[in-house]
Amino acid sequence: MGIPCLGLNGGPAFPHSEAFSFQVATDDQAETDRLWDAIVGHGGQASACGWCKDKWGLSWQITPRVLTAAIANPDPAAAQRAFAAMMQMGKIDTAQIETAVRG
């Protein structure tokens, strides 16, 4: 994705944990699907609310920009509906988020 990242094998003294993750902001459902499927479909594991793990156990957050905007909506009821919809998802479905915002 063009962002440099360096990971070191810390050995048993510094084990990997979910305290570190990659977050990827996506522009649309197609990009969300492509990245999610690339991770989960190649030995990874799906989780909840846009989270998944790759085949090495690294955590990823595949976060559509529409979700970020929805949960920051100035209308608290719309934001709450979007958050509640997200809580029911594995991979984020942008159409469902948009529907939740509209009520």
Nearest-CA neighbor of 45 among 91, 8, 89?
A: 91
Across all residues in the chain, what is the average pLDDT? 94
Nearest-CA neighbor of 93 among 76, 70, 73?
A: 70
Q: How confident is the model at residue 15 (pLDDT cuts 50, 70, 90)?
A: confident
Q: Delineate the domains of the chain, giving CATH numbers in brackets.
A: 21-102 (3.10.180.10)
Residue with tokens 């048993």: 12
Reported as a single tens digit per residue, the pLDDT across 46-94 is: 999 999 999 989 999 999 999 999 999 999 999 999 999 999 999 999 9
**Average pLDDT of span 4-25:** 84
On the question of pLDDT at 97 being above 80, the answer is yes
Q: How confident is the model at residue 17 (pLDDT cuts 50, 70, 90)?
A: confident
List, as one string, the DSSP characters of 45-67. Answer: EE-STTEEE-TTS-EEEEEEHHH
Q: How confident is the model at residue 6 (pLDDT cuts 50, 70, 90)?
A: confident
